[in-house]
Chains A and B, each alone.
Chain A
């Protein structure tokens, strides 16, 4: 895999991974990873468990030695530096607060180890930043999960590391608290301006917080880009399925004209923009997000120039208030998802004959030889 330079530059404090590989026996956890994370960015490594994201994080922190490859912080190579010599701090998944020390001493731990004499002001300021100053004398076990999480963050941030690593930092929190902490983390990152590298299997968490996301699979980066870029323009079926949901339809290219590729899928003619195609010849996989697909009772309702698939039959309807989610079975047996916003239109019951249609500029084309299911099943595993 080639080098992913997010902005194509290497600046003072950028974090650079060069050909990073980690093998455990015959298993390759991280495979020749090259990556530049610009200073001050909020970067997410997204993937299912076992994709190598946590191993990558540990190699950056120094808790794991790479088998091959180098790590640079700015111009300094830190590959062989011990973890306690690296200007990098981690917020651990289970927080790893020291149970025998109170909150004040937990936060002061890093400063004290570096021989800072007067820690009182720094610790107080940091506890204020996470709004937990009143808990300084408590022990970690006396705090709630959300409070422990913020202390773990304060304990790392107080050292003003060049890079802050977050290992599934919100995994142990309930949904409501997670939302709150996502906003909080983003606020703190903006405030302190440090490089945050965030590891998660939760695509929503990654999309909410990160400027740039690297989707990892089998120790490699599948795709790297901004959240919107990855969502709108997935490069592989894995990304299309892992990041949100996608309807993926095998198709074959019939021709290309004026920046539009014509394809045929199960005998029906469809179009897709050339600029949104990873492959424009032979077999391709045509994709479209469920919320971009609409449903009609007849061909006549479909606006001109839209892609339409006829002969569908609703097999499942779930009304969730804000939208209605349909599962539509095509004559080929394929099932497509349609999320229709609640605009007051009539709801189609299971059994109804329908036409599904979408704006051709919203579809995307993927290279046709891939596993069409890649990433779909791992997402469910990770969510479970």
Chain B
């Protein structure tokens, strides 16, 4: 009998373990602090975007789409009902693309020069490159306005003056981004390419450029993002033109149509779609490797 007890009887307190322990939500949160905090941070970051998406389906009562009235697809059906707004978006996109291309090409070349060569003015140029990032935008804008006013005159200000201004501050960001990528690149890779019969031009095209490309791509995206939503410097250099951020600023005073939220949502969804597609492509590529 005694031996049987040892092998089969449940240990003292064993019954208690089988009981499902009820815990308060607070206790659960205490045990998952990281999870909870992460969730709250995401809410904090994404809530404004959710509001934009939400409000884009609103049918506002007056001119200002600030309070919820009722669900409607009107704004999504006619995003360009206000032609001034769509024209401003077109201008912003054009400026963004042109400024990005110019700034990326110039900035990449500067980054190569800064990383690969030791020259006299190097540290000076390094400091100057940081200037557009460090200086107050409003000061940069005012001085650019004075410069353009005195050179080409107020009549000539518009697309190209905005683009020139955007290229100026985007270059700094491109240089910084490409430089860090370039500095992290193993210099022996280029030596290896040369050792394997690649001429300097081939080494650049087949090894250096593909390896720095992610950095250049990131720099271009950054430049485009900064260009497309710049307001302060743009206002000073725009003349009679109006970009999308300028239009929104102006409309806050006159009227705030739901279409603005539609455009905002489209930009957001577009960005997310690009990220999602690249993720899927990456995973497919990785899967094919195996």
Contacts and interface: CB of A to CB of B under 8 A. Distances in A.
A84 B194 contact: yes
Given A84-B197, A84-B199, A94 B289 contact: no
Interface string A76-102: 000000111100111011101111100
Contacts of B202: 113
B217 interface: no
A142 B289 contact: yes
Contact of A63 (B186, B189, B191, B207): B191
Contact of A137 (B195, B197, B211, B289): B289
A93 B192 CA distance: 11
**Which 5 pairs between the two chains have the least Cβ-Cβ distance?**
A96-B192, A110-B196, A113-B197, A96-B188, A83-B194
Nearest to A64: B191
Interface of B: 186, 188-189, 191-199, 202, 206-207, 210-211, 289
A100 B195 CA distance: 18
Contacts of B206: 109, 113
B143 to A, nearest CB: 43
Contacts of B207: 98, 100
Interface in A88-136: 88-90, 92-94, 96-100, 109-110, 113-114
B254 to A, nearest CB: 52
A63 B198 CA distance: 13
Interface of A: 61-63, 82-85, 88-90, 92-94, 96-100, 109-110, 113-114, 137-139, 142, 155-156, 159
Contacts of A97: 192
Contacts of A159: 196-197
Contacts of A155: 196
Contact of A109 (B188, B193, B210, B289): B193
B195 A63 contact: yes
Given A99-B211, A109-B193, A84 B198 contact: yes
Contacts of B210: 100
A151 B172 CA distance: 40
B18 to A, nearest CB: 47
Nearest to B192: A96
A113 B198 contact: yes
Contacts of A109: 193, 196, 198, 206
B287 to A, nearest CB: 12
Given A94-B186, A94-B188, A99-B211, A110 B194 contact: no
Contacts of B186: 94, 96
B191 A92 contact: yes
Task: With a 10 A CB-CB cut-off, give which of B196, B202, B211 has the most chain A CB atoms.
Answer: B196
Contact of B289 (A92, A98, A113, A139): A139
A63 B197 contact: no
6 contacts: A61-B195, A63-B194, A83-B195, A85-B197, A92-B191, A93-B188
A61 to B, nearest CB: 6
Contacts of B199: 84, 113
A90 B289 contact: no
Nearest to A142: B289
A238 B196 CA distance: 36
B151 to A, nearest CB: 45
Contacts of B188: 92-94, 96
B91 to A, nearest CB: 37
A85 B186 CA distance: 23
Given A83-B191, A109-B198, 16 more contacts: A63-B195, A84-B197, A88-B195, A89-B195, A96-B191, A96-B192, A97-B192, A98-B189, A109-B193, A109-B196, A110-B197, A113-B196, A113-B198, A113-B202, A156-B195, A156-B196
A90 B189 contact: no
Contacts of A93: 188
Contacts of B192: 90, 92, 96-98
A114 B193 CA distance: 12
B182 to A, nearest CB: 15
Nearest to B213: A100
A217 B197 CA distance: 32
